Structure 1
Amino acid sequence: MSKFLKMQLYFLFCMLLHVRGQHILIPDVPYGTHPEQIMDIYLPSGNTTRVSKVVVLIHGGAWFSGQKEDMLEFVPFLERDFPEYCIANMNYRLGTHEDPGFPKQVDDLDLALTYLRGTFTDDVTFALFGTSAGAHLSMLYSFSRDITNDVKVIVSHVGPVDLTDPSYVANPLYNGLFYNLVGPCLYAECPELYNVTSPIIYVDENSPKTIGFYGNLDLQVPSTQMPMLREKLDLFGIPNKFTLYQGGHGWNWSDEDKEDLRVQITQFFNQHW
């Protein structure tokens, strides 16, 4: 039996179990062989195979923690505003000092998108929607590894973009922040590793359109990060939009700002994808 037929039978079985409004939830679909390589897939209920757009949600957690359930707050508005889109909410292999996240986490994104490309009958394009470390990975993959240019839009929710920024490397408070991504090595000891894991260095004229949201009191993403990315995208003429909200690393923003974020994402998708 072919992989595609097996997947369709699996989808049909799961349809009997999980129905959410306009989407059908298929939980814990493996896209690789490692136990952490799983995703929840939300299929449009009208047609489960003819999908052309997929929003991939990538959780944060400083590259060593977190899970796909952390992104559930964003699923309802995507289901509501984009009933014809597929939503994939993925886990990825977590990093440690001994087994850091780079490059395996970028490899996991590549593997997940390859799996999704092979799942549907139509050619698909993607929007990557990441929070914190997940936003960093979304940008790192899309700017450096997406040679097919299938990723059309990035949503960066408090994502760091330049790990070589003096705001990071010259501040001892950030020592060790990236160890679960690059291993126990400070910037002064291995600057090239911090450089190749900085999404901003890969921005060029083919980069995806990008929308970002940051907090003006964020202690994990310095205030210098957002304007750096905006300036680099503007340099190459990439459509972008960034908003700075009152608050910290995403979790203590006002309800009004969170609703504004959702409205802006919907508008950006409709305009640019």
Structure 2
Amino acid sequence: MISIKLYFLVGFILHAHGEHILIPDVPYGSHPEQIMDIYLPSSENSVVSKVVVLVHGGAWFSGEKADMLEFVPFLERDFPDYCIANMDYQLGTHESPGFPKQVDDLDLALTYLRGTFTNNVTFALFGTSAGAHLSMLYSYSRNVTDVKIIVSHVGPPDLTDPSYVGNPLYNGLFYNLVGPCLYAECPDLYNATSPLVYVNERSAKTIGFYGDFDLQVPSTQMPLLREKLGSFGVTNKFKVYQGGHGWNWSDADKEDLRVEITQFFNENW
């Protein structure tokens, strides 16, 4: 059963939202950006055992949970018994980089959710761009056993890829994550923030989606992740669609993405 903790938090307003009940702006930490929207199954008899956590992108310095709202309706429709948590996290700057505080925010959010329900829950992390990177980095680097699925929507897995570090057009791309330091100056930091480095046989099953003309995630990134996961026998699936960084894909490809995610969840979680 759903913990009564959620229903008695002072100041929260519950809204009917399709197959779910929305509890907006739930704080999971003390920082103003440490909030999440929680979508609970509307059935009083629902026993939540699975939680999909949505993690927005924005190059580690921008973005908000509202950016992930396009994915909520199909998750509500296809998984009426799942809880959905759409989270904000502390944004990074050159002076206060995203690493490690953003990974710590993911841990804090999942710790809050673990304590919210009366039964043990497992998680899928569904991130876009920087949010997909953070989802992979958190799950792979910390070997989080209750994270069962990663959805990488145009997420970069390897910041040490020569396609990045050998191309001056990408200089400064990661400063809001690691601080104003190029790979040549601090390779250990770029290694530490590359999800690919941490992949092992216990890593979460992963599905990923990439564009064939993405100027922010080079075409070399997806094969690197696919091959590393495959080398450890981790279930994975990847698709490439025509277009750029997720924003100009066709309606047919966006629908195919939804179908692929639903099938992957049903088969592997």
TM-score bracket, normalised by the shorter chain, equals over 0.9
For residues 253 and 176 of structure 2, the distance between their equivalents in structure 1, rounded to whole angstroms, comes to 31
Q: Deviations over 1:197-244 (max 9, x none)?
A: 000000000000000000000000000000000000000001100000
3-state secondary structure, aligned to 2:119: coil
Identity %: 79
Provide the residue aligned with 1:137 in structure 2: 134
What is the deviation of 1:107? 0.1
Which letter maps to 2:248? N
TM-score of the two chains, using structure 2 as the length reference: 0.97
Provide the residue aligned with 2:260 in structure 1: 264
> Contact conserved, 2:12 with 2:23, CA < 8 A, in 1?
no
1:246 and 2:242 equivalent? yes
For residues 45 and 223 of structure 2, the distance between their equivalents in structure 1, rounded to whole angstroms, comes to 40
Which letter maps to 1:220? Q
Which letter maps to 2:180? P
Q: For the structure 1 residues 79 and 6, does the alpha-carbon distance in structure 2 shift closer, same or farther, using more than 3 Å as the test? A: closer
Provide the residue aligned with 1:7 in structure 2: 6
For residues 104 and 236 of structure 1, the distance between their equivalents in structure 2, rounded to whole angstroms, comes to 29
Which letter maps to 1:190? C
What is the deviation of 1:49? 7.2
Which letter maps to 2:94? H
For residues 208 and 46 of structure 2, the distance between their equivalents in structure 1, rounded to whole angstroms, comes to 31
For residues 140 and 63 of structure 2, the distance between their equivalents in structure 1, rounded to whole angstroms, comes to 23
> Contact conserved, 1:49 with 1:120, CA < 8 A, in 2?
no
Could you list the runs of 4 or more consecutive aligned residues of structure 1 that deviate by over 4 angstroms after TM superposition? none
Match of 1:67 among 45, 58, 64: 64
Provide the residue aligned with 1:47 in structure 2: 44
Equivalent runs, 1:104-183 vs 2, <5 Å: 104-147=101-144, 149-183=145-179
What is the deviation of 1:9? 1.5
For residues 39 and 68 of structure 1, the distance between their equivalents in structure 2, rounded to whole angstroms, comes to 8
Unaligned segments of structure 1, at least 5 residues: none
Unaligned segments of structure 2, at least 5 residues: none
Match of 2:19 among 16, 22, 29: 22
What is the deviation of 1:21? 1.6
What is the deviation of 1:48? 7.7
Which letter maps to 2:244? G
TM-score of the two chains, using structure 1 as the length reference: 0.95
Match of 2:55 among 58, 64, 70: 58
1:89 and 2:86 equivalent? yes
For residues 102 and 12 of structure 1, the distance between their equivalents in structure 2, rounded to whole angstroms, comes to 32
The size of the alignment, in residue pairs, is 267
RMSD of the TM alignment (CA)? 1.4
> Contact conserved, 1:179 with 1:185, CA < 8 A, in 2?
yes
